[in-house]
Structure 1
Amino acid sequence: MAYLKSSDSKLQWNGIKVMASSIVGDLAKVRNESTVHEKQTMKEEAYPEETAILAKAPDVPPPITRNYPVKLLVNLEVIVKELPIDDSYTYEYWTFQESVPGPMIRARVGDIMQVKLVNRDQSGMMHNLDFHAVLGPGGGAPLLNCGKDETKVAQFRLTYPGLYIYHCAVDPVSVHISNGMFGLLLVEPDKGLQAVDKEYYLMQAEVYTEDNPITVDSRCLPQSIDKLMDERPNYVVFNGRQGSHLENNPFKAKVGDRVRFYVGNAGPALVSSFHIIGTIFDKVWKDGSLLNQPQLGLQTVMIPSGSSAVVELDAVVPGNFTLVDHSITRIEKGCVAFLQVVGETKDPYLYCSEEGPSPCPGCKIHP
């Protein structure tokens, strides 16, 4: 566990740990008091079982090809893992399946999603899961409260198609989300989604750290509760780290491809103005709603904290296209990625000049 540098921050962090211990104690009391909550009995449905294919960003699970509901088994583990936050420093993330964001889950409307959550966090911190796709108190979180080395199982019927956030909702929720405990759940409509050439999983999030590691021989930046409460992130990143999808690991497509991005904003505080420089979104399902008709021809998509969007575009010109939060100062905090398109355009007048391109030296958005 990476502790905070300032004495005030240490006191705040100790307060959080005390609060977590109090929650564990209170939960034990609630479990022993049958008059507080009625036990929700799990019911067996005559649905075939299917284990969910979980995909780590930027990959996406394969499309649903069946035309019937199943009991979808989703197995997730909480694991604390130190991961790179940029080229110089690391950060101790609280992860689902050792990745930030957590894996993307793909289901079909009508499925019964059975979630098994195992808490491998050895610090004693409690964790759970709040699915924005779940109808019921806490989005399922009260049924999945897990202490150290505990396993919890709960099941939920998925009644609305859409692209939904999931996250840990243990108090203080902002601490758990900003430590990496979030992901996306795609619930396909009963007739599925139209096939495209490329699908990608992308999540924006903030990370709040102290300016320096605790010791001179460490690369790990501790969390800053002060900055978190003031909503002053050091980093605003795509898929868990600064530079996750730059020249050495861009999103890729060919001229003529139809490309779909499943985009989430974990927050925990900022609104995203999602934009891809040099493209126009042909179709956008705002707020992740797949019940509504898509909006057409959008330049920038507002994605609130805790929400999502499905965006589609046609790759018609070769080159590097830059994904940003158009609250543009966030580029300097790491919120930039590249889509690399190869091939030849069918319409040379879409983008042409007698001279070749001459990007400005050191430019972060026009490589």
Structure 2
Amino acid sequence: MSHTTQTGRRQFLTTVGLGGAALLSGCVSAPAAQTNDVDEPSDAGPSTEAAAASLDPAKPVDVDRVAADPTAVPDPIDRDEPRELEFTLTAEEVTAEIEPGVTFDYMTYDGQIPGPMLRVREGDRVRLRFEVPADENELPHNVDSHAIYGPGGGAEATTLAPGDDAAVIEFTASYPGVHIYHCAVPNMDVHISSGMFGAVIVEPKEGLPEVDRELYFGQHELYTTGEVGEEGHHAFDREAMENEEPTYVVFNGEPYAFTADGYGPVTVQRDETVRVYFANGGPNKISSWHPIGNVWARLYRDGDVLSEPARNVETTPVAPGTVTAAEMETPVPGPIKIVDHALSRAGRRGALGVVQVEGEENPDVYDEDA
């Protein structure tokens, strides 16, 4: 496709406006909602027959899961000079299960939520390639990175319709921090809600403090035509989104994905320092981010890695469109429940994951048999 034709399509797509364009509808098949205790069990019950009859049957799924592996974090940067780096992000619309028996049409980068973490150093020259394959997408997509100086954070130049030639932009990673990237086409709130967001780490020239382990989670809201746990295909509910009334509030695309009832908790070892990167895609809700049974020993508010971190913070707000980083110490074994402390979201809508600390008991710090 010629550059002139692509530019014309991009201009058309960017002038459609939030009120136009098709909305995402999707479905994933799953049984009734799991019970996940925070301070007490959730009582989210099964749906009624009348409610169940309102949904289409669950769709066949394209992928087994959309939840990104929280341990899939690029290695810290260990060099003293800038380099030229190249990354490719691919838009993929997929049907997957929100939970067993419940399907939904997600929008993703590289088939996962959150999208792959990109890690660079201050001063690096970054070449970003973006693709929207025709066989995997029905809608236009783009990339708006908060790590980029430039129109729309790169969104204008990367806006593609399915089947367009790949877009390629270059930028210099000018300001250190942890930043979000997301889709920013018309109906961007639908695209982000449906999973199109991720994180970019721009390490300062001197690097980040060394830790034993790093993890990566992303929170967002799912607005659907069904109730929590209601079997069938859940289409996107635009009215619910505009009213900011989510069906699910999830980490990594699925409720309770990283618990014993999901893919299992994330395991770490006693006496490790664990840094967690937490991207809030939103599109609407502030997260009250808290580790139950722990504190954020060092908190890099809003992804600010240049200021001195705050110390021993129990709960911190993470606004939509923000990536926050924080570190935990792990002196005793047992589960650390990472939650949105708006606890109805954690106990009833899915915003809970477990980091399981393994190792010897440490009664000097905590003794449950005293």
On whether the aligned pair clears a TM of 0.5, the verdict is yes
Q: Distance in 1 between matches of 2:264 and 2:274?
A: 17
The aligned residue for residue 349 of structure 2 is: 333
Matched, 1:303 2:315: no
AA aligned to 1:159 is S
Matched, 1:103 2:116: yes
Aligned-residue sequence identity (percent) comes to: 35
Q: Distance in 1 between matches of 2:249 and 2:8?
A: 32
TM-score (norm 2): 0.78
Aligned counterpart for 1:152 among listed residues 161, 164, 167 = 167
Task: Please list the CA deviations of residues 214-273 of structure 1 after superposition, one character each: whole Å capped at 9, or x if unmatched.
Answer: xx9x84311111111111110000111012100142121111111110111000000000
The aligned residue for residue 272 of structure 1 is: 287
Q: Distance in 2 between matches of 1:321 and 1:112?
A: 38
Matched, 1:57 2:69: yes
The aligned residue for residue 236 of structure 2 is: 223
Look up the SS of the partner of 1:176 in the other structure: helix
The aligned residue for residue 239 of structure 1 is: 252
Deviation at 1:25, TM superposition (A): 4.7
Task: Please list the CA deviations of residues 16-37 of structure 1 after superposition, one character each: whole Å capped at 9, or x if unmatched.
Answer: xxxxxxx97572699xxxxxxx
Moved over 2 A (4+): 23-26, 121-124
- Give structure 2 stretches of 5+ with no counterpart: 1-6, 15-66
Aligned counterpart for 1:85 among listed residues 80, 85, 98 = 98
Higher relative contact order (CA 8 A, sep 6+): 2
Task: Please list the CA deviations of residues 188-226 of structure 1 after superposition, one character each: whole Å capped at 9, or x if unmatched.
Answer: 11111122111100111101111179xx9x843111111
Deviation at 1:91, TM superposition (A): 1.4
- Structure number with larger C-alpha Rg: 1
Paired residues, what number? 305
Give me the CA root mean square deviation.
2.2
Aligned counterpart for 1:205 among listed residues 198, 220, 224 = 220
Aligned counterpart for 2:211 among listed residues 192, 196, 204 = 196
- Give structure 1 stretches of 5+ with no counterpart: 1-22, 31-54, 356-367
Q: Distance in 1 between matches of 2:281 and 2:90?
A: 19
Cα distance change of structure 1 residues 274 and 294 upon mapping to structure 2, 3 Å threshold = same
Q: Distance in 2 between matches of 1:198 and 1:97?
A: 24
Matched, 1:140 2:154: yes
Matched, 1:131 2:149: no
Matched, 1:74 2:87: yes
The aligned residue for residue 9 of structure 1 is: none
TM-score (norm 1): 0.79
Q: Is the 8 A contact 1:57 1:101 kept in 2?
A: no
AA aligned to 1:94 is M
